[in-house]
Amino acid sequence: MSTILEEDSVTIEEHPISPFIRTDRMPHIWCPTCGIGTVVKCYATALAQSGIDLDKVSIVSGIGCTGRVAGYMKLDGFHATHGRAVPFATGLKLGRPELLVTVFSGDGDLVGIGGNHFIHAARRNMDLLVILVNNFIYGMTGGQNAATTPLTAKSSTMPFGNFERPFNLPHLAACCGATYVARWTSLHIRRMTKSFKEAIQRKGFRFIEVITPCATLYARLNKLGSGLDLMRFYHDNAEIRHGADTRELDIEFQDKIICGKFIDEERPTFLDMMHEHYGKTLGDKYVPMPPEGGWIHE
Amino acid sequence: MKADPAGVLTGTHYLDGDFACGEGAMAAGCRFVAGYPITPSTEVVERIARRFPRMGGIFIQMEDELASMAAVIGASWTGTKSMTVTSGPGFSLMMENIGLAAMMETPCVVVNVQRGGPSTGLPTMVGQADMMQARWGSHGDYAVIAISPCSPQEAFNFTIDAFNLSEIYRVPVLVMMDECVGHMTEKVIIPPAEAIDVVPRRLTAKPPGEFLPYRRNGNSVPEFARAGDGYRFHTTGLTHDERGYPVMSAECQDRCVRGIVDKIRLNADKIVRYEEEEIEGAEVVVVTYGITARVARMGVDMARQHGIKVGVLRLVVVWPFPEKRIRELASKIRAFVVPEINYGQIVLEVERCAAGKAAAIPVSHMGGGVHDPNDIFRAISEAAK
């Protein structure tokens, strides 16, 4: 039973993360029960708790449902081309090394069309925090098969079920050299926030996958019920196994989801390696890019 | 302002066009270059990779040209002047993000050292067949500026001009070199830093609360804020309003597209640049650019020896195209002769502007070499009949 309250009897409080959101852009485009908003909230909370100077935080997205995050967060936000968020972010970071650059995008964007950029940025240990929302499908375009669709799951372009082996993303990131690798579902609000906070404080290529299957298309095509049913599924089937062997993190259709922090190590970043190497080979002649960037002015 | 001396290698040098282009970029204040190796352009970034660590610049070799162009746009949003360098096949891959740069109004420079195409074509040999791609290669309506050097000295000078134009108009500027100019070695004079004018990235003076990243008056260029200065702005490849927010409507599309096209189209008189020679009283005008401008010279001289009144219009800025000038000349002369190392590209533009008042005669060379000047001479003679 719901009750309708009179407007003057309601105290309107500001949402705790509204300072991080372009509230003039609300309502957002995400479907009811979609997990992307939850991931945004966790990231905003982590930024707030980390105490970082928000003027120095840039966020880059590609194209797709998660690609809209860069436009909804009140940070310097760049909505780039499909698949190119990581190289765009690479340019931002190298153009002004003092920035914290976060890439916030979906599976189709980052490891489908953008897969090549993803592996190379990890190989270079480019100083980027990469948050990947994995919805198992191409959501914005109507539920087509993705590089992450579990075997046998139905998609609009695999109407009889997917027969392509999907990526195991934490393993892919770890193999290519990521220094921080974690996976959560959108149910793991507290742990995900902690992971984001930890990753904000680390350096190098940090990769966090958040599982949140598309509640509209993936769930409907596979008869998985509502968004709430998906949450129940995470609750019953997510297993936290910190430090698990990343080879064992495949996601099978409607099977358990191994979550946790798998990699957390320190290795010199692209910029660290560059400074050290040029310092060694060029000595005094080496002039590093200043932290505030290469902006030339009078 | 004047150039930062750290990037200026003052002196008299013996350089090829690719090296000279790299020196031009560094003199112009470029401090970020992302690129992917491709013949015949790679020497530009090799030069830069060697010199950048001594002047606070960063060169990164990306995984492909898609990434290179994306990184250049990202870096430019920090206020750091940025460039990438490629040839035909890489230019095709860059088209996606050249469109993004145009849409986001990002100052940047793209050098294309043209080789024979299509596809892999003639990797080590000359072509000029990317001229239309330079103008129209990315999808949708947008505008760019393209400049075409014909010597290593011009590769140096015009690369500086390209950076300056990209800053003034917040637009990708394409340096349309060709393999001959890129690999030709000649004397290049690099003046002292205080003799080189560079346009710095001009940042908005407005405080964050009042700044709108895409507000413009008429055909003006919006003010710029760089990432990390507290403006917390948004920019997108989607159709956007003056706040930079996506708006999916025909009205916003109209404003957005007119904005990015008209700032070039309606300022074309200030951007267009060409050189003329013996145009007065000419019956025939040779319209030419890049290496072909130098080859055409011999054909023109031969025609003059035969008493033909022939003038030359050399395009320095190819896009925007000097429509007005071609239109004026068309009513005075008999024909334009347009030698190009392609199957007829800029000649189509000449024909359009001549609008039937004068003939536009192509002299096509498919690439892999330059024209035989006799072919140009013959075309001029035919045209003068």
The CA distances from residue B276 to B253, B285, B360, in Å, are 39, 9, 17
- Shared domain check, B190 and B278: no
Q: Are B298 and B263 in contact (CB under 8 A)?
A: no
Which residue in the set A87, A93, A274 is minimally distant from B67, CB to CB? A87
**Pick from B229, B139, B150: which is nearest to B182 by CA?**
B150
- The single residue listed with the structure tokens 């495949």 is A250
Would residue A6 count as lying in a domain?
no
> Order of strands across the sheet with A180-185?
A238-240, A257-264, A180-185, A206-211, A129-134, A100-106, A57-61, A76-79, B234-236
Would residue B307 count as lying in a domain?
yes
Which residue in the set A55, A88, A278 is minimally distant from B74, CB to CB? A88
Which residue in the set B75, B238, B246 is minimally distant from A95, CB to CB? B75
Percent of chain B with pLDDT over 70: 100
A268 shares contact with chain B (CB less than 8 Å): no
The CA distances from residue A49 to A91, A156, A200, B370, in Å, are 27, 41, 10, 65
A71 shares contact with chain B (CB less than 8 Å): yes
- Shared domain check, B156 and B39: yes
B1 shares contact with chain A (CB less than 8 Å): yes
How does residue B220 score in pLDDT terms, banded at 50, 70 and 90?
confident
- The single residue listed with the structure tokens 């309606």 is B266
**Pick from B295, B256, B266: which is nearest to B379 by CA?**
B295
Would residue B153 count as lying in a domain?
yes
Would residue B288 count as lying in a domain?
yes
User: Which whole number is the average pLDDT over A253-272?
Assistant: 97
pLDDT of residue B186: 98
Instruction: Name the residue range of residue A99's domain.
Output: 23-285
Which residue in the set A90, A270, A293 is minimally distant from B71, CB to CB? A90
pLDDT of residue A12: 78
How does residue A9 score in pLDDT terms, banded at 50, 70 and 90?
confident
Quote the number of domains for chain B: 2
User: Which whole number is the average pLDDT over B164-186?
Assistant: 98
Where does a domain end: B180, B195, B210?
B195
Q: Are B97 and B71 in contact (CB under 8 A)?
A: no
CATH number at residue A220: 3.40.50.970
Q: Which of A289, A292, A298 to mutate to test the interface with B (most CBs of B within 10 A)?
A: A289
pLDDT in tens, B313-325: 999 999 999 999 9
Cβ–Cβ gap A55/B29 under 8 Å: no
Return the C-alpha torsion angle B33, B35, B39, B43, nearest 10. 30
- Shared domain check, B172 and B309: no
pLDDT in tens, B58-92: 999 999 999 999 999 999 999 999 999 999 999 99
Instruction: Name the residue range of residue B17's domain.
Output: 5-195
Q: What are phi and psi of B376, to 5 degrees?
A: -70, -40
- Shared domain check, B137 and B23: yes
Would residue A9 count as lying in a domain?
no
Would residue B231 count as lying in a domain?
no
**Pick from A75, A81, A83: which is nearest to A107 by CA?**
A83
Where does a domain end: B135, B168, B195?
B195
Where does a domain end: B195, B215, B244?
B195
Cβ–Cβ gap B58/A274 under 8 Å: yes
Using CB atoms and an 8 Å cut-off, which of residues 21-50 of chain A contact chain B? 22, 24-25
pLDDT in tens, A193-251: 999 999 999 999 999 999 999 999 999 999 999 999 999 999 999 999 999 999 999 99
String of b and e for A59-73 (b: at least 16 CB within 10 Å)? bbbbbbbbbbbbbbb
Quote the number of domains for chain A: 1
How does residue A3 score in pLDDT terms, banded at 50, 70 and 90?
confident
Distance from CA of B256 to the nearest CA of A (A): 16
Cβ–Cβ gap B82/A91 under 8 Å: yes
Cβ–Cβ gap A116/B96 under 8 Å: no
- Shared domain check, B154 and B9: yes
pLDDT of residue B218: 80
Pairing, β B108-116 against β B335-340: unpaired
* Residue B352 tokens, joined: 């359009």
Any residues with CB less than 8 A from the CB of B339 and at least 6 apart, and which?
B286, B288, B292, B295, B296, B299, B362, B363, B364, B365, B371, B375, B376, B379
Q: Is the peptide bond before B40 cis (omega within 30 degrees of 0)?
A: yes
Which carries the bigger pLDDT value, residue B362 or residue B218?
B362
Would residue B378 count as lying in a domain?
yes
Would residue A107 count as lying in a domain?
yes
For chains A and B, CB pairs below 8 A equal 189
Chain B residues whose beta carbon lies within 8 Å of the beta carbon of residue A70? 234, 236
Chain A residues whose beta carbon lies within 8 Å of the beta carbon of residue B56? 287-290, 294
Cβ–Cβ gap A25/B245 under 8 Å: yes
- Shared domain check, B303 and B178: no
Would residue A241 count as lying in a domain?
yes
- Shared domain check, B311 and B162: no
Would residue A4 count as lying in a domain?
no
Instruction: Provide ipTM, 2 decimals.
Output: 0.97
- Shared domain check, B58 and B178: yes
Which residue in the set A22, A60, A96 is minimally distant from B78, CB to CB? A96
Using CB atoms and an 8 Å cut-off, which of residues 33-92 of chain B contact chain A? 34, 53-58, 60, 62-64, 66-68, 70-82
Would residue A17 count as lying in a domain?
no
B198 shares contact with chain A (CB less than 8 Å): yes
pLDDT of residue B225: 97
A54 shares contact with chain B (CB less than 8 Å): yes
Cβ–Cβ gap B228/A70 under 8 Å: no
Distance from CA of B86 to the nearest CA of A (A): 17
Cβ–Cβ gap A88/B198 under 8 Å: no
Nearest CA in chain A to B235: A78
pLDDT at B19 over 80: yes
Return the C-alpha torsion angle A108, A111, A116, A119, nearest 10. 160
Q: Cα separation of A224 and A253, whole Å? A: 11
Chain A residues whose beta carbon lies within 8 Å of the beta carbon of residue B82? 91, 95
pLDDT of residue A1: 59
pLDDT of residue B279: 96
What are residue A169's DSSP bridge partners? none
Would residue B228 count as lying in a domain?
no
User: Which whole number is the average pLDDT over A49-68?
Assistant: 97
Which residue in the set A79, A96, A285 is minimally distant from B228, CB to CB? A96
**Phi-psi group of B79: left, alpha or beta (phi > 0 → left; psi -120 to 50 → alpha; rest → beta):** left
Would residue B202 count as lying in a domain?
no
B227 shares contact with chain A (CB less than 8 Å): yes
CATH number at residue B278: 3.40.50.920
The CA distances from residue B224 to A59, A106, B19, B214, B267, in Å, are 18, 29, 31, 9, 19
Chain A residues whose beta carbon lies within 8 Å of the beta carbon of residue B64? 116
Would residue A12 count as lying in a domain?
no
Nearest CA in chain A to B30: A294
CA atoms within 13 A on the CB side of B100: 29
String of b and e for B66-77 (b: at least 16 CB within 10 Å)? bbbbbbbbbbbb
pLDDT at B106 over 90: yes
User: Which whole number is the average pLDDT over A76-83?
Assistant: 98
User: Which whole number is the average pLDDT over A46-54?
Assistant: 97
Nearest CA in chain B to A29: B246
* Residue A212 tokens, joined: 């949140």
Cβ–Cβ gap B32/A91 under 8 Å: yes
User: Which whole number is the average pLDDT over A247-256?
Assistant: 97
CATH number at residue B37: 3.40.50.970
Cβ–Cβ gap A22/B228 under 8 Å: no
Would residue B83 count as lying in a domain?
yes
Q: Cα separation of B222 and A235, whole Å? A: 50
pLDDT of residue A8: 75
Would residue A293 count as lying in a domain?
no
Any residues with CB less than 8 A from the CB of A109 and at least 6 apart, and which?
A61, A62, A63, A64, A66, A67, A82, A83, A85
Which residue in the set A117, A286, A288 is minimally distant from B63, CB to CB? A117
B232 shares contact with chain A (CB less than 8 Å): yes
* Residue B385 tokens, joined: 């009949």
Q: Which of A96, A275, A276, A284 to mutate to test the interface with B (most CBs of B within 10 A)?
A: A96
pLDDT of residue A5: 73
How does residue A296 score in pLDDT terms, banded at 50, 70 and 90?
confident
Cβ–Cβ gap A294/B231 under 8 Å: no
User: Which whole number is the average pLDDT over A167-192?
Assistant: 98
